[in-house]
Amino acid sequence: MEYYLKSKESAYPCEVTIDEDNGRYMIRKADSSGEVFNSPLELIRWVLDNWTPDEFQDQEQFRQMITEFQLNFLTN
């Protein structure tokens, strides 16, 4: 799963990558720095703790990403 979210603070989109096949869980932030995680749950926790919908031009796209996280990783 890859998501590209257009931040209000940057010309480049924020990127969220959850690649379970290759064990890649990464985020690129609005300032172009990044974070790497050991699991999708760590990545999701970071997103929930650090980003809000109002930081992005398309708030609904952010909310949809969170919903997909909930359906794919937070239910059991």
Domain ranges of the chain: 2-73
Strand ordering across the sheet containing 2-5? 2-5, 14-19, 24-28, 34-36
pTM, two decimals, is 0.91
The C-alpha atoms of residue 7 and residue 72 are separated, in whole angstroms, by 24
Banded model confidence at residue 48, pLDDT cuts 50, 70, 90 = very high
Region 1-29 average pLDDT: 96
Q: What percent of the chain has pLDDT over 90?
A: 95
Please give the structure tokens belonging to residue 67. 């919903």
Average pLDDT of span 16-31: 96
